[in-house]
Structure 1
Amino acid sequence: MRPRVHARYQSLRVRLLAALLAWVLLSVLAAGWGIQQLFRQHIMAQLQSELNIYLDQLTAVLQVNAGGQIALSSLPGDPRFNQPYSGLYWQVSVSQADGKITPVLRSRSLWDADLPQQYSGLQMGRDLATEAVGPSGQQLRVRARLLQPADGPYDELLLIAGADQHLWAEPIDRFNRMLALALGILVLGMAIAAWAQVSYGLSPLVRLRRRLLDVREGRASHIEGVFPTEVQPLVQDFNEVLDRNQQALDGARREAGNLAHALKTPLAVLANAARAKDPALPELVSEQVQVAHRQVDYHLAQARAAAAIRVRGLSSPVAPLLQGLVRVMQRVHADRALQYDLSGVDESLAFRGESQDFEEMLGNVLDNAGKWARRRVQVSARKHENMLEIKVEDDGPGLRADRTEAVFERGQRADERRPGSGLGLSIVRDLAQLYGGRAYMETGTLGGACVVICLPAVG
């Protein structure tokens, strides 16, 4: 038996759950990362917008007189500007002709510290958003603006508004924790939903397994019940296999019974002759052995054909088989110099079955035709729809109309004076029917008998 170490890796349930959970996890991680980035961008954009508002407020209340005094008509209203080291700062610096920049006004939150003065890339009329180091060494997001006062001795005024990183890092961290919790709950819910979906989706297979167990244990002969459209064809095919197996078993039992019944007579004759010490026992044994041999051959042919029809892909070319049979018949009837005409046989035809069965059927028919023909046996074969139609005619005396069906019965012969067992045409009909075809007689064109055999064709 195959080891069960890796059985869980071969489970459809495990595979489906693993694939679904992997996809869910990747999707949730990607969605979480995207949402986190969007929220971070939103917070940073909002922070820049607030810093821009503070610069606009400072610009609006900033006053410079002719004497060079700088003052604010009012202070920005955010109370954090009045709390030391609150994380929100503003500063106004002056730039003189010698390039020196000196802070002149600052928010109370800076206490005695200064914001950085140098910002590369800062231009008049364009604000600069960048990062800088704060009064406590922390990271700041700052927004700087240059102004040109109309009065006073200063060339430029530098307005700076800055915010500590904790002002945006804290809401981002809080949002990330809430997002992780929400996505974790979502993953758990989707995992439960995936398990329920897989269990529900595979439940027909569990039910199918129980039905198969019923068949195996003999509680049912077929798989009963209605299954989903994806499983129902499999159930139907399996039921067909069960039907064919049952038919094969019934056929085997029937053939075994028939063979046993057919052998009873030769065995009884031999037993009676042995008890009576019949002096003709050797000849009787030889005769009855031949009878038994013919019966065994008959039933073996039936069994071989029954097995062959379940094998797909069989193909037996017709013309070469007929040519080989004709060569045999010419030797069997060499003393009569019969003519076998195969001109009506299409070279492209092929029989969908075993070549031995084909030879068994046509060999019997050709042998019978050779026994009754005067000079000529004619064979023709053509394809009609999906069937081969093979005709074997002879120029012999023919049969009465009331005998055309009787000769196909077991033990029946057209002429009791001719040698034979009466099994030939019976074998032909039985084999043809096993392949889904038929065998019958019709009026021929040569004046004698005409046997027609219909068999499945290839292509």
Structure 2
Amino acid sequence: MIRSLRLRLMLAAMTLAALFMLALLPAMQGAFSLALQESIEQRLASDVTTLISAARVENGRLKMPAQLPDERFNLADARLLGYIYDRDGNLVWRSKATQEEHINYTPRYDGQGNQFARIREDNGQEFFVYDVEVKLLGGQSAAFSIVTLQPVRDYELTLQGLRDNLYLGFGAALVVLLALLWIGLTWGLRALRRLSQELDEIEAGTRESLSTAHPRELLRLTGSLNRLLHSEREQRSRYRDSLDDLAHSLKTPLAVLQGVSEDMARRPQDRGQAWVLQTQIERMSQQIGYQLQRASLRKSGLVRHQVRLRPVLQSLCDTLDKVYRDKRVQVHFDLPEHCQVPIEQGALLEMLGNLLENAYRLCLGEVRISVHQTLGGTELSVEDDGPGVPPDQRARILQRGERLDRQHPGQGIGLAVVKDIIESYGARLTLGDSELGGAAFRILFPVV
């Protein structure tokens, strides 16, 4: 399937131009053939007129001068064929060039005046014939058929030369036409390229809307896209504001409940119920935070970002080195200096923060972060030398609320947030074994 609009238009234009020229070529050949035959007829008629003007009748017999006014009739190799027949079809005179020709032609003296025809001899030769019936010569009564002929092969050679020139000319014209069409299409599609550039700027976050400096035919499209962009921004803003309002409105009741649970915990008989209440309050707080993260870090529908990976990783690792300074974790980077990933910076921080925190917490002392280009896109890997994850538990820990590590506090929603972020960007998260001995979290960003 051809995905280039310019190439499609060029192929369509080339096809139409070729079909037009192929249809025009036979018509031009036919017109030239008719014009050439008319020219031959006029020339043969002129030759007949020359013979008529030179002929005389004496005592009922035809007399022709030894030297005719037209020198071509006097030369044997002039290829000017002339015959004169009497009323009974008997040959009474022939030009010198006809001495080598054996033409079996019988004139039709039927009172029709003149006749232009094409005859074919038994040996395969063809001739154009112009036959004129003459009843008066030099003012005297006469009955003769004066005939001039021209070989058809001369006509065919001329027509073949024209055909070759037409093919060459039409081919050159087609090439020039296609070049002009390519230039015209390139100029005409500049508006689409400009629109594409503006969309790229919107995806990169350097432009908020499309301009109005486009052809009339595209203004409705650009207007619809601008309304879509504005509507999306407003919807996302309202969504985030609503969630923020909800979270804020829940803080006070949760704080009251937290205070009640602390009061209950001071009474020995209510400590069990207080622990249950505090656990549920903590879970509710975690869930509120999780939903806020999902709402704020989900990919925009039109805007596409490219974030440099190394500065974000360096910042996160510097922070985690301070948190886990007793472990002295060694972090190895295996990625290009200016490597970029197609994700918003806030989402990237949240995603890598969760993955690196898990790697620092569970590793024995070594973490590796690598980026590789594959056929499917860009693959980002976070590996550690910790205990790893059993194969039968890998799908479960990516679910919200599921944890394998029971020694550290938490609700098990970190990896669920990571998975949601990754899937919102069309990427894929897989969990496998690392060469370091622990777990390997691999994120594949597909080619855009």
**TM-score, length-scaled by structure 2:** 0.54
Match of 1:256 in 2: 243
| Cα offsets for 1:104-129 (capped at 9, x unmatched) | 21000011544333256x52242111
Q: Which of the numbers 9, 24, 38 marks the counterpart of 1:16?
A: 9
Task: Identify unmatched segments of 5+ residues in structure 2.
Answer: 289-294, 296-448
Q: Distance in 1 between matches of 2:137 and 2:40?
A: 30
Shift of 1:75: 4.9
Give 1:15 deviation, angstroms.
1.6
**How many Å separate the matches in 1 of 2:184 and 2:137?**
74
Of residues 163, 173, 176, the one that matches 1:186 is 173
| 3-state SS, counterpart of residue 106 of structure 2 | coil
Could you tell me the percent identity over the aligned residues?
20
Work out which of the residue numbers 237, 247, 264 in structure 1 matches 2:234.
247
Q: State whether residues 86 and 109 of structure 1, in contact with CA within 8 Å, keep that contact through their aligned partners in structure 2.
A: yes
| Alignment match of 1:31 (pick from 24, 27, 35) | 24
Q: Would the alpha carbon gap of residues 10 and 192 (structure 1) be closer, same or farther in structure 2, given more than 3 Å must change?
A: same
Q: Residue 37 of structure 1: CA displacement?
A: 2.0
Match of 2:33 among 33, 36, 40: 40
Which of 53, 62, 65 is the aligned partner of 1:70?
Answer: 62
Q: Which amino acid aligns with 1:265?
A: T
Rounded to whole Å, the distance in 2 between the matches of 1:82 and 1:208 is 79
CA RMSD across the alignment: 3.5
Deviation at 1:71, TM superposition (A): 1.1
Q: Does 1:158 align with 2:111?
A: no
Relative to structure 1, the CA distance from residue 215 to residue 112 in structure 2 (aligned partners, 3 Å threshold; closer, same or farther) is closer
**Structure 1: distance between partners of 2:33 and 2:48:** 23
Confirm whether residue 274 of structure 1 aligns to residue 267 of structure 2.
no
Matched residue, 1:82: 74
Q: Report the 3-state secondary structure (helix = DSSP H, G, I; strand = E; otherwise coil) of the residue aligned with 2:208.
A: coil
Determine the C-alpha separation between the residues in 2 that align with 1:196 and 1:150: 68
Q: How does 1:246-325 map to 2 (within 5 A)?
A: 246-277=233-264
Amino acid at match of 1:240: R
Equivalent of residue 155 in structure 2, options 165, 168, 173: 168
Q: 2:243 and 2:185 mapped to 1: Cα distance?
A: 50
Larger radius of gyration: 1
For residues 167 and 45 of structure 2, what CA distance do their matches in structure 1 show? 32
**Helix, strand or coil at the partner of 2:189:** helix
Aligned residue identity for 2:131 = A
The one of 33, 51, 62 equivalent to 2:44 is 51
Structure 1 CA distance for aligned equivalents of residues 70 and 26 of structure 2: 33
Secondary structure of 1:230's partner? helix
Residue 206 (structure 2) pairs with residue 214 (structure 1)? no
Cα 1:113–1:264 change in 2 (3 A) is closer
Q: Which residue of 1 aligns with 2:128?
A: 141
Partner of 2:83: 91
Contact persistence 2:198–2:210 (CA under 8 A)? yes
> What's the CA shift for 1:89?
0.3
How many residues align structurally? Answer: 275
Cα 1:160–1:84 shift into 2, 3 Å: same
Q: Distance between the aligned counterparts of 2:44 and 2:210, measured in 1?
A: 76
Q: Which runs of 5+ in 1 are unaligned?
A: 1-5, 297-302, 304-459
Query: Per-residue CA shift, 1:179-219, capped at 9, x if unaligned?
Result: 33222221111100111111111122222222222222223
Aligned to 2:214: 227
Q: Which residue of 1 aligns with 2:93?
A: 105
The separation in 1 between residues aligned to 2:251 and 2:52, in whole angstroms, is 125
The alpha carbon displacement at 1:139 in A equals 1.2
Where do residues 378-417 of structure 1 align in structure 2 (5 Å cutoff)?
Answer: none
**1:149 CA drift (Å):** 6.2
State the partner residue of 2:223: 236
Normalized against structure 1, the TM-score is what? 0.53
| Contact 1:113–1:135 (Cα < 8 Å) also in 2 | no
SS of match in other structure, 2:40: helix
Partner of 2:105: 117
2-structure distance, mates of 1:182, 1:193: 16
Secondary structure at the counterpart of residue 10 of structure 1: coil
Is residue 68–residue 74 contact of structure 2 (8 Å, CA) maintained in 1? no
**Cα pair 1:91 1:106 within 8 Å, conserved:** yes
Structure-2 separation of matches of 1:115 and 1:137 = 11
* Matches of 1:60 and 1:135, distance apart in 2: 33
